[in-house]
Amino acid sequence: MAEEKSFYMTEEGKDNLEQELHELKTEKRKEVVERIKIARGFGDLSENSEYDAAKDEQAFVESRIQQIENMLRNAVIIENDSDNPDVVTLGKTVKFQEIPEGDEEEYTIVGSAEADPFEGKISNDSPMAKSLLGKEIGDKVTVQTPAGDLEVKIIAVS
C-alpha cells in the first residue's frame, strides 16, 4: 500500500479546512442535489445542459470533500519553534532582501495545503522555502528559480 503524504499546516489552516469540509457536506451538497432534481424536471437528460452542469458540480464537490478528508487525516500541525527564534522553520515568517539592493519581501512558510502567495504564504515545497528553511538571520541564501539563481539575505524571522 502506498504511503500517504503528510500535509503540514498551522492550527488555523486545519480549522479553515474543517470549516470548508463542514460547509461542503452540510450546505453545498444539498444545493447540488436540489439543482440536479430541478434539472431532471427539464426533460430529456441527454440534451440537458443544466443537468450536466449540476452533475459536474456534484463530482467537483465530492472530489473536494475526499481531498479535504485526506488532508485532515494526514495533517501534521506546525508547532512554533521557540527554541531557535532566529532560525527559519515551518510556520515562521521570514523577511529577506534580494542582493544587491533589491526589494524586501516577507513570507510565512506553511504547508502546501495553506499556501497562498497573494496572502504572503508560501509552500514548504517551493524553491524559495526549501532554500530558506534551516537558515538564520543574516545568512545569504541562493535560491534556484526557473528564471535563474536569486541571492537573498535574511533580515528577520518571527
Residues lower than pLDDT 70 in the chain: 1-3, 80-83
What is the predicted pLDDT for the residue at 19? 95
Last residue of a domain, one of 18, 45, 77: 77
Beta strand 7-9 pairing with 104-110: unpaired
- Looking at the fold, whether 27 and 62 belong to one and the same domain comes out as yes
Whether residues 91 and 152 fall in one domain: yes
In a domain, 2, yes or no: no
We report the CATH number of the domain holding residue 108 as 3.10.50.30
Asked if residue 91 and residue 153 are part of one domain, the reply reads yes
According to the model, what pLDDT value does residue 139 have?
A: 85
Residues 72 and 108 in one domain: no
Q: How far apart are CA 59 and CA 53, in angstroms?
A: 10
Query: Is residue 76 a contact partner of residue 9, using CB atoms and an 8 Å limit?
Result: yes
Whole-number pLDDT of residue 3 = 63
Q: Do residues 64 and 94 both lie within one domain? A: no
What is the structure's pLDDT at 1?
47
* Nearest of 30, 25, 56, 55 to residue 40 by alpha carbon: 55
- Residue 57 is predicted with a pLDDT of 93
Tell me what pLDDT residue 65 has: 94
User: Which grid coordinates are listed for 80?
Assistant: 512554533
- In total, how many domains does the chain have? 2
pLDDT of residue 127: 86
Whether residue 67 is found in the same domain as residue 96 = no
pLDDT for position 125: 85
**60 shares its domain with 113:** no
Give the type of residue at 111: G
Task: Please name which of 89, 109, 139 lies closest in space to residue 13, comparing C-alpha atoms.
Answer: 109
CA dist 103 and 63 (Å) reads: 40
Burial of 126 (0-12, 13-18, 19+ CB in 10 A): middle
Domain identity same for 67 and 98: no
Locate cell 524586501: which residue? Answer: 104
Residue 61, domain extent: 7-77
82 within a domain of the structure (yes/no):
no
Same domain membership, residue 94 and residue 62: no
